[in-house]
Amino acid sequence: MTDVQHSILFVCMGNICRSPTAEGVTRALVEQAGLASYFHLDSAGTHDHHVGEGPDRRTQQAALKRGYDLSGQRARQVSIKDFHAFDRILAMDLRNLALLQQRCPNALQDKLGLFLDYAEGHEGGEVPDPYYGGTSGFERVLDMAEAGARGLIRAFAPQLGWMGSSFSAGKNPY
């Protein structure tokens, strides 16, 4: 893993719906672009409700329909070490961003942000929690995760000399 130049942690509340989706989608698109060795990706939750569990069954089903396998992921809680270990820590919503800001050392606050700030047309937006809703909520999270992942690649990949164009806005590569 000596090639890694960007480390990104995706964060939601329980790490079973939104953040594992963001991690899995970003991982797949980075691999598709041939940039996997340049990125270290992970996800975590601000709460410890689901530590050790896999992503929610509905999250996994929706993701698998689009070709994303999230079954190997396990929920964990954000730790103080994460603020030092990751270059970017991206929250799925303002509530979790505020929790991260409370826990993060002042000198590292610039690492924090919203995932959708990278998604064209969604800047400043929040990824809604689909947990208590129907299947359409999980599909919407996937749409947003794909937009955010494409935006992350566009933002960071030029630093790696990659100028690929296979991530046009609104086009699912699968």
What's the domain range around 44?
6-160
Whether 110 is catalytic is no
Q: Tell me how crowded residue 109 is: count the other CB atoms within 10 A of its CB.
A: 12
CA 99 to CA 95: how far, in whole Å?
Answer: 6
In a domain? residue 169: no
Closest CA to 156 of 39, 41, 34, 27: 39
Closest CA to 63 of 85, 89, 43, 39: 43
CA 147 to CA 25: how far, in whole Å?
Answer: 10
* pLDDT: which is higher, 102 or 159: 102
The model's pTM is 0.92
How many domains does the chain fold into?
Answer: 1
Whether 42 is catalytic is no
Whether 104 is catalytic is no
In a domain? residue 131: yes
Q: Name the catalytic one among 18, 27, 88, 150.
A: 18
pLDDT digits (tens, 9 = 90+) for 81-116: 999 999 999 999 999 999 999 999 999 999 999 999
In a domain? residue 50: yes
The count of residues in the chain is: 174
Q: Name the catalytic one among 88, 104, 129, 150.
A: 129
In a domain? residue 114: yes
In a domain? residue 126: yes
Q: What is the CATH number of the domain that holds 74?
A: 3.40.50.2300
CA 37 to CA 139: how far, in whole Å?
Answer: 28
In a domain? residue 165: no
What mean pLDDT do residues 41-53 have? 98
Instruction: Please determine, for residue 158, whether its predicted confidence score (pLDDT) is greater than 90.
Output: no
